[in-house]
Amino acid sequence: KNQVEQSPQSLIILEGKNCTLQCNYTVSPFSNLRWYKQDTGRGPVSLTIMTFSENTKSNGRYTATLDADTKQSSLHITASQLSDSASYICVVVGGSGTYKYIFGTGTRLKVLA
Amino acid sequence: EAQVTQNPRYLITVTGKKLTVTCSQNMNHEYMSWYRQDPGLGLRQIYYSMNVEVTDKGDVPEGYKVSRKEKRNFPLILESPSPNQTSLYFCASRKAGTGITFFGQGTRLTVV
């Protein structure tokens, strides 16, 4: 069964600290993996897109990694800011037939001053 | 500005009263889709459209209809809403292939 699991479910950190969010998937065949940031009550916004051959991709203070062999990805946030408080959703694109988006349930991050 | 626009943002309605949530994109994207988001669950696809006049069911299509008469618009229709359709709905669009998907701001629907 195609699944995307994220951990932790929620996380609280102090402003300025780093954190790492995890994503494990069982989607096959695999096309690409995406990380989205979703502010409360708003639509998800794309952070990174990683294909099979990419191990690391950065977008400002966000760095995503992908290990296609173990089917794991992580999103590392450096020097967190209050504005990083949001849900972070891992999405794996793949599955049989047309490109199907399989969404994780997200990690809810709260950054405290 | 490139965007996906949904209307309304908030809607409270009664069981059985037909409603339409509109979605429009200004990026000339071929692919559009509708999702619902419920607590503890990932976004689930309701319907999608690969291009004008081409629509198909997603994972949870029951109780919903869509149409794609124009490339920019993809309305979601609830013919007879029920309380289990209370949810946060998102419209999304992207270019054909594996481009970035843009999401609308969401429509919070409550059916009483």
Task: Write out pLDDT tens, residues A24-46.
Answer: 999 888 889 999 999 998 999 99
A92 in contact with B, Cβ within 8 Å? no
Report the pLDDT value the prediction gives residue A95, as an integer from 0 to 100: 72
Mean pLDDT taken over chain B: 94
Joined together, the tokens standing for residue A108 give 């809810």
Within an 8 Å CB–CB cutoff, is residue A94 touching chain B? no
Nearest to B90 among A4, A43, A105 (CB): A43
The per-residue pLDDT for A1 is: 80
Distance (Å, whole) CA B8 – CA B105: 10
8 Å CB contact of B40 and A105? yes
b/e map of A44-72 (b: 16 or more CB within 10 Å)?
bebbbbbeeeeeebeeeebbbbbebeebe
* Chain-chain contact of A105 with B105 (C-beta, under 8 angstroms): no
A99–B contact, CB cutoff 8 A: yes
At residue B26, does pLDDT exceed 90? yes
- Mean pLDDT: which of A1-10, A14-23, B49-58 is highest? A14-23
Whether the CB-CB separation of B92 and B101 falls below 8 Å is answered with yes
* Statement: residue B107 has pLDDT above 90: yes
Mapping DSSP to helix (H, G, I), strand (E, B) and coil, where does residue A28 land?
A: coil
pLDDT digits (tens, 9 = 90+) for A85-107: 999 999 998 876 667 889 999 99
pLDDT, tens digit, for every residue of A41-77? 899 999 999 998 899 999 999 999 999 999 999 999 9
- Cβ-based contacts under 8 A for chains A and B: 43
Note the pLDDT of residue A97: 62
Which candidate from B42, B98, B108 shows the least CB-CB separation from A32?
A: B98
Q: A11 near A19, Cβ under 8 Å?
A: yes
Determine the length of chain B: 112
Among all residues of chain B, which has the CA nearest to that of A39? B105
Phi, psi of B12 (to 5 degrees): -115, 130
Average pLDDT over residues B70-80: 97
